[in-house]
Amino acid sequence: MKNGEIMKTGIKIAMMSLLTFSLVGCKDFLDTTPHDSISDKVVWNDIHTATLYLNGFYPYICLFENIKTGSKEMKEHIRKRKIMAVTLTGSFANFLLLVFKFIAGVLGHSSAMIADAVHSLSDFVTDIIVLLFINISSKPKDEGHDYGHGKYETLATTIIGIVLMCVGAGLFWDGANKIFGFYFRNEQLESPGKIALIAAIVSILVKEALYRLTLYVGKKENSQAVIANAWHHRSDAFSSVGTTLGIGGAILLGDNWRVLDPIAAVIVSILIVKVAFQLVVPAINDLLEKSLPGEVEDEILSIINETPEVRNPHNLCTRRIGNDFAIEVHIRVDGQITVSRAHELTKEIENKLRLKFGPTTHIILHVEPIKEKKDE
């Protein structure tokens, strides 16, 4: 016991001594001037020193952004998995609807339901296209593709739009032909069965749910092809609405109203073609290297002009490469500055542009000396 008490007393004395030393000496210890940093007075003494100090933070901001959200490769991997998951979900649902609609159309004697099944078949084919092209577009740049594979996704959007146009045109032709036969050739239309009506209602619910899910993922992951596929789901839902009205009217209103089925199909086909044009036109513009919108280009010039030593940004060229921007521009600086300083200025501008438009933005800056008035 005595040894234990002596040990406890010794520990107490040691702790009190350490505490006393800390209270007496910590002020001098903590007030030591650091030798690995610079004071605020030095940093903000002149604009050149402050600019150099702030420019040094841009790479760390980009690094922090990568740490916070994951590396570029990790982000692309997650993006690819999300796109694959939502596309596979839609593909599986489209396959089930495709089989169900064909069976319901045949058993229910509904040409509108069979046409709707053909539309679902186009959705299924579209899903396969998206899966193939997203897998290609997510690949990094290689020896044969210096700008990456982003254009494959734009190409997939174009194909989806063209498929939609063909489906819409086919539905329009089929419906118009039946309407003409009913009114001018006295052709009788078969009355659809209730199973066709049930299939149409189920299709509306499933396709609207797929539209909302796919559009959410497409916007969140900034994927043109997935957004295009979402609108394909919505167009299928519209088609099923028309089919439901046509089949329901033919069943409930009698023989003279069976023509509602092809009339609804014609209206829906026009909506489908309209959506197809909204997808195809922007995608073709991207494939043809159309410039970014004017407001985006104005924002680019505004960001460049934020750097005091840079003058007269000109020859701005912009375009899309898949989901990324490509920016090429000439800038003018004082001809007397060093090459190193000119390089620092270009890095500063590149970091600002990538902070705004994304880390994978392709940027080329051409530096020129400021022209004298007599040379202009």
pLDDT mean across residues, the chain? 77
57 inside domain? no
User: Based on the domain organization, do 220 and 113 belong to the same domain?
Assistant: yes
Band (47; pLDDT cuts 50, 70, 90): low
123 inside domain? yes
Distance of CA 290 to the CA centre of its chain: 18
50 inside domain? no
324-333 sheet: strands from edge to edge: 311-321, 324-333, 362-369
3-state secondary structure 119-166: HHHHHHHHHHHHHHHHHHHCCCCECCECCCCCHHHHHHHHHHHHHHHH
Q: Tell me how many domains the chain contains.
A: 2
Band (301; pLDDT cuts 50, 70, 90): very high
CATH code of 340's domain: 3.30.70.1350
pLDDT tens for residues 92-133? 888 898 899 889 988 887 877 877 787 777 777 766 776 777
Write down the pTM of the prediction: 0.59
* pLDDT score, position 333: 92
Provide the residue range defining the domain that includes 216. 64-138+148-287
Tokens, residue 260: 């509602």
User: Based on the domain organization, do 163 and 261 belong to the same domain?
Assistant: yes
Band (36; pLDDT cuts 50, 70, 90): very low
User: Based on the domain organization, do 298 and 231 belong to the same domain?
Assistant: no
User: Based on the domain organization, do 188 and 251 belong to the same domain?
Assistant: yes
User: Based on the domain organization, do 165 and 277 belong to the same domain?
Assistant: yes
* pLDDT score, position 340: 92
Residue 76 has pLDDT above 60, yes or no: yes
User: Based on the domain organization, do 235 and 317 belong to the same domain?
Assistant: no
* pLDDT score, position 88: 83
Q: How do strand 311-321 and strand 362-369 relate by DSSP bridges?
A: unpaired
Do the Cβ atoms of 270 and 173 come closer than 8 Å? no
Distance from C-alpha of 314 to C-alpha of 165, rounded to nearest angstrom: 40
Burial 61-96 (b: 16+ CB within 10 A, else e): eeeeeeeeeeeeeeeeeebbebbeebbebbbebbee
Which of 287, 315, 348 marks a domain boundary? 287
Do the Cβ atoms of 353 and 361 come closer than 8 Å? yes
Band (324; pLDDT cuts 50, 70, 90): confident
Q: Report the pLDDT averaged over residues 162-186.
A: 86
Q: Is 55 exposed, middle or buried (0-12, 13-18, 19+ CB in 10 A)?
A: middle
User: Based on the domain organization, do 84 and 206 belong to the same domain?
Assistant: yes
Token look-up 């995608």 returns 283
User: Based on the domain organization, do 269 and 318 belong to the same domain?
Assistant: no
Which of 237, 258, 287 marks a domain boundary? 287
Distance from C-alpha of 210 to C-alpha of 90, rounded to nearest angstrom: 6
- Ordered alpha helix ranges (H), the chain: 2-30, 40-43, 47-55, 58-69, 72-107, 111-137, 151-184, 194-220, 224-253, 260-287, 294-305, 339-357
7 inside domain? no
Which of 266, 287, 308 marks a domain boundary? 287
pLDDT tens for residues 191-246? 778 898 899 899 899 989 999 999 998 888 877 778 877 887 887 788 788 788 88
Do the Cβ atoms of 322 and 148 come closer than 8 Å? yes
* 13-16 contacts at long range (C-beta below 8 A, 24 or more positions apart): none
75 inside domain? yes
Distance from C-alpha of 351 to C-alpha of 80, rounded to nearest angstrom: 26
CA-CA distances (angstroms) from residue 25 to 12, 31, 34, 173? 20, 10, 17, 93
Q: Report the pLDDT averaged over residues 123-146.
A: 72
350 inside domain? yes
User: Based on the domain organization, do 195 and 239 belong to the same domain?
Assistant: yes
* pLDDT score, position 298: 94
Q: Report the pLDDT averaged over residues 303-318.
A: 92
Residue 331 has pLDDT above 90, yes or no: yes
161 inside domain? yes
Residues 6+ apart with CB under 8 A from 291: 297, 317, 318, 319
User: Based on the domain organization, do 157 and 207 belong to the same domain?
Assistant: yes
User: Based on the domain organization, do 254 and 305 belong to the same domain?
Assistant: no
Residue 1 has pLDDT above 80, yes or no: no
pLDDT tens for residues 238-268? 878 878 888 888 888 877 787 887 887 787 7
User: Based on the domain organization, do 185 and 222 belong to the same domain?
Assistant: yes
Band (61; pLDDT cuts 50, 70, 90): very low
73 inside domain? yes
Do the Cβ atoms of 232 and 199 come closer than 8 Å? no
